[in-house]
């Protein structure tokens, strides 16, 4: 989390029962007193400064944000930049103008509180969202500007301003008295909550209240009633919406549903969305699994063919639950606005008409072939069934049922070509024909819808499973992001933008589009993504924050750790509940994968650091020994020469001089290896590549070890061809020297060391073979590791630092060559180095 988020600011509400009761004045007066005591207090916003000019003098005011021709609004950025100890913001329940960051002013206050700034604000009892039904009973009005109950209940302090209105009020005295009593009751309940500590038994036997959501305007009353009940019982509140699979909500219904979900969130309800056509069964099953003790739902209207209401069915399925049914207002006039207008699809109309014509033609043929009327009726029923299969809406199959009866009556009953029927039995036939056609078409439509939904759900689940499998295979961050965004694009059929997050900053966005389009629309919304990163909350389209954005932006996170910001192109087409659930599941998988990738990377870094520390320790430990031995020998031999040089014979002196020279060469070789290792590790080794004769390189290496030829026989076998390679001769000489040095140290004296060079498959090979005891397979696997030494007795009793062969491998890799080790026959070891051969150019 950011540093400023670690300390939460405190909220103080100056609470009243009506307008013009002195709340703003009391807030300013207290601010004045705090300022006089050297507190850092600023005025963020005052609704109406008329009559407050005097008390405002001496108080610092943060300039407001002017939105075009609208009234000024709170400038959140200016307040955050100023970062006072206390800021005053009037009228907490205010709805912000278009273009503001947040939909509601209380959201502005919450963002300021999260920055660690204390906020003083004002509110009336009419602003409390759960009291709207009580307010409506008292005043006959519904407040359009409300605040969530939790802000009032969790405020650090609420100060009740119990003054009479300063001006003539549009409410009557009785109304004001009732509002005052409600405000006092509200404050008393808050104090009771703060002072009462729940016992252990409360948590063991806690109440759990479930309220059922619907896209109905009257559902708001049901939600508020459930919130009051939860408040009374101090119970958990869950709001459940069962999204039917066979019904698509209209735009108006979707709007009502989102408003009801938003209200439930404001009342601190946990939102749950399930997808199923069996609404009653799902409610009962969820209640059983979740330990629900009480269910609150609205009174559902019953239809002609419906045997029992929703509440009655719930009682049968869950008799142990307490069920509260809230009466509903007659919404038929309201839902006239909600019902979508009937629009005819030309293709479906033509298919219906064509099927009726085809059924009539076949019926005519049957009639002239003297088939019974029952066979003709079956033809029309089959036509209705086919109409239900090939059209997209039920209205066409219903119309086909009705028209089929009329056509059958008109063409195939006596008297023909009239809608009259002499035989009264035809009436029963017509009714049965219509009912059978109606039922078959309805069942066909349901099966068709169910099949489509099943296929769609199967497709979505397939995407979810495929995404999970692909994420398990991906190891790098870019691949993980690409897999997830492509899956979301397939699932939602929308464009996706993803901002990776590194060190709490947005990186360059990755844009995934279904078709080529102008991507600048996404880049213009980077500010929304930055806000989501800073506040760790959703923003953009379909939210109450920066709602003018084209995309919905969400943080891909594990707790407070944000790994990226993802934007989903909405463009006025919000996600349905099932899409939203699958999307959140995929984003959860993405967050886990990015966390695993981050953990693996951190572990690799930690392992590398530990390895480097171990290498450093080994280097210091080894070098202290390896330097001490030759230096002790040099100083000892030099001391002998200084003290007894006059009495020693010439052969003894030469031996001492030779030992000093030999040890100094060994030290030079050690220092050269150390310097080369350092350059390679730092990436600062520059190759001086030139075309060199391999024979000259081998001879140069032999010159540096001539002092040891007395104990070993070195045999050189040259190729008949001229061997040329583009190399850094100094480094290749060092490779050959290190291998020869190992052969001399680890093999018995007076044995042969063979150096053979040859050309094969456009590569030059140099084999250096000894006649020692060989190297076992276990040591071969690590022979080129840094600081690794074979555990055996060294000829001169001097430990090896373990850098030589590791350095050889690094040098060969830099030359695009290889170094290998294998057994010599009949015994011993062969080190083989290979280099790309340089073609010989012959100039005439």
Q: How far apart are CA 743 and CA 839, in angstroms?
A: 31
Query: What is the tens place of the pLDDT at every residue in 354-384?
Result: 888 998 899 888 888 888 877 888 888 888 7
Question: Counting runs of H as helices and runs of E as strands, what totals does the chain give?
Answer: 26, 24
Q: Is the bond preceding 826 in cis, omega lying within 30 degrees of 0? A: yes
Question: Do 183 and 295 sit in the same domain of this protein?
Answer: no
Percentage of the chain modeled with pLDDT above 90? 26
The DSSP letter of residue 391 is S
Q: Give residue 564's pLDDT.
A: 93
Band of the pLDDT at 88, cuts 50, 70, 90? very high
Tokens (6 digits) for 168? 């003539």
Question: Do 299 and 152 sit in the same domain of this protein?
Answer: no
Q: How far apart are CA 6 and CA 737, in angstroms?
A: 62
Is 165 inside any structural domain?
yes
Burial of 664 (0-12, 13-18, 19+ CB in 10 A): middle
- Over residues 62-87, mean pLDDT: 85
Question: Do 147 and 248 sit in the same domain of this protein?
Answer: no
SS3 call for 213 = coil
* β-strand partners of 163: none
CATH of the domain at 292: 3.40.50.620
The pLDDT of residue 795 is above 50 = no
**Residue pair 383/404 in contact by the 8 Å Cβ criterion:** yes
Band of the pLDDT at 571, cuts 50, 70, 90? confident
Question: Do 274 and 416 sit in the same domain of this protein?
Answer: no
Is 670 inside any structural domain?
no
Q: How far apart are CA 43 and CA 52, in angstroms?
A: 12
Q: How far apart are CA 253 and CA 574, in angstroms?
A: 13
Q: How far apart are CA 312 and CA 320, in angstroms?
A: 13
Q: Give residue 5's pLDDT.
A: 44
Q: Which H or E run contains 792?
A: none
The DSSP letter of residue 129 is G
Band of the pLDDT at 787, cuts 50, 70, 90? low
Question: Do 35 and 179 sit in the same domain of this protein?
Answer: yes
Least confident piece of the model among 40-49, 202-211, 356-365, 658-667: 202-211
Query: What is the tens place of the pLDDT at every residue in 602-626?
Result: 888 888 778 767 766 666 665 666 6
Given 164, 195, 226, the domain boundary residue is 195
Pairing of strands 496-502, 561-569: antiparallel
Band of the pLDDT at 331, cuts 50, 70, 90? very low
Q: Give residue 343's pLDDT.
A: 58
Q: How far apart are CA 741 and CA 642, in angstroms?
A: 31
SS3 call for 479 = helix
Tokens (6 digits) for 306? 């419906």
Query: What is the tens place of the pLDDT at every residue in 496-531?
Result: 999 999 888 999 999 888 877 667 777 778 889 999
Q: Which of 576, 523, 584 is nearest to 557 (CA)?
A: 584
Burial 468-492 (b: 16+ CB within 10 A, else e): bebbeebeebeebbbbbbebbbebb
CATH of the domain at 827: 3.30.565.10
Question: Do 126 and 227 sit in the same domain of this protein?
Answer: no
Question: Do 233 and 317 sit in the same domain of this protein?
Answer: yes
CATH of the domain at 161: 3.40.50.300
In angstroms, what CA-CA distances link 430 with 139, 272, 386? 57, 48, 20
Q: Which of 335, 440, 453 is nearest to 388 (CA)?
A: 440
Question: Do 435 and 417 sit in the same domain of this protein?
Answer: yes
Q: Give residue 277's pLDDT.
A: 76
The DSSP letter of residue 5 is G
Band of the pLDDT at 430, cuts 50, 70, 90? low
Query: What is the tens place of the pLDDT at every residue in 151-170?
Result: 998 899 999 998 888 766 67
Query: Looking at the 3D structure of the chain, how many domains does it have?
Result: 4
| Centroid of chain to Cα 367 | 68
Q: Which of 217, 204, 143, 247 is nearest to 576 (CA)?
A: 247
Is 802 inside any structural domain?
yes
- Over residues 212-235, mean pLDDT: 88
Given 142, 176, 195, the domain boundary residue is 195
Given 451, 473, 505, the domain boundary residue is 451
| Centroid of chain to Cα 42 | 38
Band of the pLDDT at 783, cuts 50, 70, 90? confident
Question: Do 208 and 316 sit in the same domain of this protein?
Answer: yes
Question: Do 807 and 725 sit in the same domain of this protein?
Answer: yes
CB atoms inside a 10 Å sphere around CB 142? 12
Which segment, 68-77, 329-338, 504-513, is predicted with the most confidence on average? 504-513
Is 76 inside any structural domain?
yes
Q: How far apart are CA 419 and CA 409, in angstroms?
A: 6
Least confident piece of the model among 78-82, 526-530, 578-582, 794-798: 794-798
Q: Give residue 338's pLDDT.
A: 41
The pLDDT of residue 1 is above 50 = no
Q: Which of 341, 352, 141, 148 is nearest to 251 (CA)?
A: 341
Is 789 inside any structural domain?
yes
Percentage of the chain modeled with pLDDT above 70? 85
Pairing of strands 41-45, 270-275: unpaired
CB atoms inside a 10 Å sphere around CB 669? 17
**Residue pair 240/272 in contact by the 8 Å Cβ criterion:** yes
- For residue 285, the enclosing domain spans 200-338
Tokens (6 digits) for 816? 């695009």
Q: How far apart are CA 376 and CA 383, in angstroms?
A: 11
Is 674 inside any structural domain?
no
Is 381 inside any structural domain?
yes
Is 615 inside any structural domain?
no
Return phi, psi of residue 139, to 5°: -105, -15
Question: Do 799 and 764 sit in the same domain of this protein?
Answer: yes
Burial 517-552 (b: 16+ CB within 10 A, else e): eeeeebeebeebbbbbbbbbbebbbbbbbbbebbbb
Looking at every residue in the chain, the average pLDDT score rounds to 82
Band of the pLDDT at 202, cuts 50, 70, 90? very low
CB atoms inside a 10 Å sphere around CB 840? 10
Question: Do 285 and 425 sit in the same domain of this protein?
Answer: no
């Amino acid at each position: 989390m950011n540093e400023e988020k670690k300390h939460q600011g405190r909220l103080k509400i100056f609470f009243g029962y009506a307008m013009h009761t002195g709340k703003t004045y009391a807030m300013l007066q207290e601010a004045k007193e705090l300022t006089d005591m050297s507190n850092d207090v600023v005025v963020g916003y005052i609704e109406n400064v008329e009559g407050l000019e005097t008390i405002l003098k001496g108080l610092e005011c943060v300039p407001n944000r002017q939105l075009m021709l609208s009234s000024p609004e709170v400038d959140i950025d200016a307040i955050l930049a100023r970062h006072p100890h206390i800021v005053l913001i009037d009228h907490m329940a205010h709805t912000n103008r278009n273009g503001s960051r947040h939909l509601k002013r209380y959201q502005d206050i919450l963002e300021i509180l999260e920055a660690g700034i204390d906020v003083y604000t004002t509110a009336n009892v009419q602003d409390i969202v759960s009291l709207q039904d009580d307010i409506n009973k008292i005043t006959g009005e519904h407040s359009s500007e409300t605040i969530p109950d939790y802000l009032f209940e969790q405020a650090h302090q609420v100060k009740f301003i119990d003054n009479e209105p300063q001006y003539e009020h549009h409410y009557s005295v009785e109304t004001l008295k009732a509002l005052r009593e409600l405000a006092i009751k509200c404050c008393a309940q808050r104090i009771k909550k703060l002072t009462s500590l729940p016992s252990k038994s409360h948590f063991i036997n806690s109440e759990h209240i479930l309220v059922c959501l619907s896209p109905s305007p009257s559902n708001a009353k049901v939600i508020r009633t459930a919130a009051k009940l939860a408040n009374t019982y101090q119970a958990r509140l869950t709001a459940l919406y069962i999204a039917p699979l066979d019904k698509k909500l209209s735009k108006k219904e979707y709007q009502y549903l989102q408003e009801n979900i938003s209200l439930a969130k404001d009342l601190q309800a946990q939102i749950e969305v399930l997808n199923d056509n069996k609404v009653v069964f799902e409610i009962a099953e969820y209640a059983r699994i979740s330990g629900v003790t009480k269910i609150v739902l609205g009174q559902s209207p019953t239809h002609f063919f419906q045997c029992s209401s929703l509440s009655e069915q719930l009682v049968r399925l869950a008799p142990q639950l307490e069920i509260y049914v809230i009466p509903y207002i007659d919404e038929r006039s309201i839902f006239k606005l909600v019902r979508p207008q009937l629009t005819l699809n030309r293709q479906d109309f033509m298919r219906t008409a064509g099927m009726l014509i085809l059924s009539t033609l076949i019926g005519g043929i049957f009639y002239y072939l003297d088939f019974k009327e029952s066979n003709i009726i079956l033809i029309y029923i089959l036509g209705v069934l086919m109409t239900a299969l090939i059209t997209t809406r039920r209205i066409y199959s219903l119309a086909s049922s009705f028209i089929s009866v009329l056509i059958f009556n008109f063409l195939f009953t006596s008297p023909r070509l009239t809608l009259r029927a002499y035989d009264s039995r035809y009436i029963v036939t017509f009714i049965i024909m219509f009912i059978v056609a109606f039922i078959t078409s309805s069942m066909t439509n349901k099966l068709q819808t169910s099949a489509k939904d099943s296929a769609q759900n199967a497709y979505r689940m397939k995407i979810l499973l495929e995404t999970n499998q692909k994420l398990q295979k991906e190891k790098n961050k870019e691949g993980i992001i690409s897999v997830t965004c492509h899956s979301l694009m397939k699932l939602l059929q929308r464009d996706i933008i993803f901002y990776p997050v590194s060190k709490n900053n947005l990186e360059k966005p990755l844009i995934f589009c279904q078709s080529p389009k102008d991507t600048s629309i996404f880049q213009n919304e980077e500010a929304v993504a930055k806000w989501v990163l800073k506040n760790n909350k959703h923003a953009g389209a379909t939210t109450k924050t920066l709602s003018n954005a084209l995309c919905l932006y969400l943080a891909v996170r594990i707790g407070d750790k944000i790994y990226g910001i993802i934007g989903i192109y909405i463009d006025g087409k919000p996600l349905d509940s099932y899409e939203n659930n699958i999307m959140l599941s995929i984003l959860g998988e993405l967050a886990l994968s990015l966390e695993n990738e981050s953990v693996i990377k951190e572990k690799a870094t930690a392992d590398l650091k530990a390895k480097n520390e171990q290498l450093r320790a080994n280097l210091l430990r080894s070098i202290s020994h390896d330097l001490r031995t030759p230096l002790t020998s040099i100083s000892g031999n030099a001391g002998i020469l200084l003290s007894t040089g006059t009495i020693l014979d010439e052969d003894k002196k030469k031996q001492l001089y030779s030992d000093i020279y030999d040890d100094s060469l060994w030290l030079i070789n050690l220092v050269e290896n150390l310097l080369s290792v350092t350059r390679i590790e730092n990436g600062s080794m520059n190759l001086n590549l030139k075309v060199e004769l391999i024979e000259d390189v081998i001879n140069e290496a032999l010159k540096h070890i001539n002092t040891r030829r007395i104990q070993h026989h070195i045999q050189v076998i040259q190729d008949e061809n001229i061997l040329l390679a583009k190399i850094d001769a100094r480094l290749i000489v060092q490779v050959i020297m290190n291998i020869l040095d190992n052969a001399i140290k680890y093999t018995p004296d007076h044995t042969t060391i063979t150096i053979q060079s040859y050309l094969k498959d456009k590569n030059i090979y140099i084999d250096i073979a000894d006649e020692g005891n060989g190297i076992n397979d276990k040591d071969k696997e690590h022979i080129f590791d840094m600081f690794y030494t074979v555990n055996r007795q060294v000829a001169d009793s001097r430990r090896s630092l373990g850098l030589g062969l590791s350095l050889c491998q690094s040098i060969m890799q830099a030359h695009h060559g290889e170094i290998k080790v294998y057994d010599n026959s009949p015994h011993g070891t062969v080190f083989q180095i290979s280099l790309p051969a340089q073609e010989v150019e012959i100039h005439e």
